[in-house]
Chains A and B, each alone.
Chain A
Amino acid sequence: MKKGALIFAHNNRDVDYALMSLISGGLAKKHLGIPVTLVTDETTLAWMKQSNIHQRSTEVFENIITVEKPVTENQRRLWDGVELNKVVPFANANRASAYDITPYDRTLLLDSDFLIFSNRLNEFWDSEEDVLIADSMNDIYGPSRVGYHDKYISDTGIHMFWATTVMFTKNEYSREFFNLVNFVRSNYQYYGDLFRFNTQQYRNDIAFSIAKHIMNGFETDRTTALPALLTTIDKDILHSVDSNGKLTFLVSPMFDSNMCAAAIKNTDVHVMNKQSLIRNADALLELI
C-alpha cells in the first residue's frame, strides 16, 4: 500500500501558500518518511518559479499536480498578532477533490500551516478506519482560549472536527465521504440553515464534520480520530525558529497586546498566524 501526504496550495495576493506548503511538506517528508504531493494551480506555480522556490519544491515533492484554481468569494480576516489584520480572499473550496487527485492508497491530507516535527502520525497508517480527522484543537495556552465555536460548528450544532489533518484510504467508503463533503460544500447555505452555522465563510472543518456526522449514521463518534492539534492561533506570533528546531512563540493569553512567551520542539504544531510563519520561512526551510 503506497502512503503519502497531500497538500493544497493556492496563493492569494497576501499569503504565499506555496512557500508554506514547501515547509509543511518538507517537514512531513523528513519526520514521517513519506513522499509528499503538492496540489496547486498555474498561477501559483508561476509564482513558485518566480520566487525561486520551484527547484526546492521539485526536490521535496514527489509530484506537483496542477488543477484549476477554485473560484471563490470566500474571504477571511487574516491576523498577524493582535494588532495587524486584513481581509484576504481564501481559495479552499477544492479540498474534497483530494480523493480523486491523490496518487496514494492511504493519504495524509495536510493544511499548509501544520508543521510536523514528530513521527506521531505514523502510528495511524495501519488503522482500519477509512477516514480519520483531527478530533479537536488543543490551544497552546490552554482551554481558556478555546471557544465554543472551536468545539462545535454552531451554538446548537454538532462536534467540530478539524480538517487540518485528515487521513484516508482510497476505497468506496472514502469516495462516498469526499463526495458528501463536496455535496455539503455545494449546498452550504442549506446545511447552514439546518445546523445553524454562519455561512459567510466556507470552512472545510465544518463540511468535513457534517460529512463525518452523516456517514456515521447521524451520530458523532469522536473515538475514531486523529490526535487533537496543538494550535497557536493567529493572534499569537511565531517569533523565531532556531537551528535545533525550537520554535519560540509570543502567546496572547487574553487576545490583547500583552503576551507571554512559549517554546516548543519535536512536537507537531498548527501555526494559524501565516504571516509570521512566512517571516520565519528561511529558518524553517533550514530544518527540512
Chain B
Amino acid sequence: MEDQLQRALNFANYRQSFSIQRKTLKEKIEAKLTYGFGGGIFKIDRELISFTQTLIDKERAFGVVILDQNETPVLVDDLQHFQDDIISRYFEATNEYFEQYQNLKKSRTVEKLLDL
C-alpha cells in the first residue's frame, strides 16, 4: 500500500490534487450554506441575503412568505431573526472558505495539499 501511495504521489501532478482539494473544500462550504427553516430548505447566498434586506427595508419584516430553493412558500414570522441567522452562517462559511483556500494556495506540494 505504501508503494501505491508513493506511486500516486509521483503520478499526481500538483494541479490535479489541487483541483480535487478545491472541489471538496467547495463541497464542504456548500454544506454549511444549506439552511433548513420552517419546513423549507434554503441555499444561503448573496441573493437571499439581499432579498431579505430589501424586505426589511420595506418594513415587511413580520409574517413574510418567502420561497425556498424548491420554490416552496415558507412563512417567516420574524425576518430579522432569519436574516441574522443566515448572515451569521454565511460569514462563518465564507471565512472558513477563505482561510482554507489560502492554505491550499500556499501548499506547493501534493503532500502539503493533503495536510489539511
Interface positions of A (Cβ within 8 A of B): 81, 118, 120, 122-129, 138, 140-142, 223-224, 227, 230, 237, 239, 246, 248, 250-251, 253, 257-268
Interface contact B36-A140, CB-CB below 8 Å:
no
Are B7 and A259 closer than 8 Å at their CB atoms?
yes
B114 at interface (Cβ–Cβ under 8 A)?
yes
Task: Name the 9 nearest CB pairs between A and B, nearest first.
Answer: A260-B12, A123-B36, A128-B39, A120-B31, A259-B8, A263-B114, A262-B20, A223-B70, A267-B28
- Chain B residues with CB under 8 Å of chain A are 1, 4-5, 7-9, 11-13, 16-17, 19-21, 23-24, 27-28, 30-32, 34-41, 69-72, 110, 113-116
List, sorted by A's number, 29 A–B pairs whose CB atoms are closer than 8 Å.
Answer: A118-B31, A120-B34, A125-B36, A126-B38, A127-B39, A128-B72, A140-B20, A140-B24, A142-B19, A223-B69, A227-B34, A230-B24, A230-B27, A237-B1, A237-B4, A250-B5, A250-B8, A259-B4, A259-B7, A260-B11, A260-B12, A260-B17, A261-B5, A261-B9, A261-B110, A264-B28, A267-B24, A267-B27, A268-B31
Are A127 and B41 in touch, CB under 8 angstroms? yes
- Choose one: B9, B20, B36; the contact of A127 (CB below 8 Å): B36
The reply to whether B41 and A124 form a contact with Cβ atoms under 8 Å apart is yes
Residues of B within 8 A of A260 (CB): 8, 11-13, 16-17, 20, 110
Are the C-beta atoms of A123 and B8 separated by less than 8 Å? no
User: Measured between alpha carbons, how far is A186 from B91 in the docked complex, in Å?
Assistant: 50
Chain B residues whose CB sits within 8 angstroms of the CB of A250 once the complex forms = 4-5, 8
Specify which of A122, A128, A239, A253 is in contact with B16 (CB 8 Å cutoff): A253
B114 contacts A261, CB within 8 Å? Answer: yes
Provide the bound-state CA to CA distance between A129 and B72, in Å.
10
Residues of B within 8 A of A122 (CB): 36
Q: In the docked arrangement, what's the CA distance between A123 and B12, Å? A: 36
Q: A227-B30, A262-B17, A266-B28 are in contact. List 16 more A-B contacts (CB 8 A).
A: A81-B4, A122-B36, A125-B36, A126-B37, A126-B39, A142-B23, A250-B8, A251-B20, A259-B7, A260-B12, A260-B20, A262-B21, A262-B24, A262-B114, A267-B31, A268-B31
- In the complex, which residues of chain A have a beta carbon less than 8 angstroms from the beta carbon of B36? 122-127
Residue pair A141, B20 in contact (C-beta under 8 Å)? yes
CA distance A119 to B80 in the complex (A): 24
Closest to A128 in B: B39
**Which residues of chain B are within 8 angstroms of A227 by Cβ–Cβ distance?**
30-31, 34
Residues of A within 8 A of B37 (CB): 126
Tell me the complex Cα distance, A122–B13, Å: 37
Say whether B27 contacts A239, CB under 8 Å: no
Residue ID in chain B nearest A251 by CB atoms: B20
Distance (whole angstroms) from the CB of B77 to the closest CB of chain A: 15
Which of chain B's residues have a CB closer than 8 A to the CB of A266?
28
Nearest chain A CB to B65 CB, angstrom units: 14
Q: A259 and B12: CB pair below 8 A?
A: yes
- Across the interface, which residues of A come within 8 angstroms of B12, CB to CB? 259-261
Q: Smallest distance from the beta carbon of A186 to chain B beta carbons, Å?
A: 31
A140 to B12, CA, bound (A): 15
User: How far does the Cβ of A25 sit from chain B's closest Cβ, in whole Å?
Assistant: 20
- Which residues of B sit under 8 angstroms from A224, Cβ to Cβ? 70
What distance in Å separates the Cβ of A22 from its nearest Cβ neighbour in chain B? 23
Q: Which residues of the partner chain A approach B30 to less than 8 Å between Cβ atoms?
A: 227
**Residues in chain A near residue B39, CB distance under 8 A:** 126-128
Residues of B within 8 A of A124 (CB): 36, 41
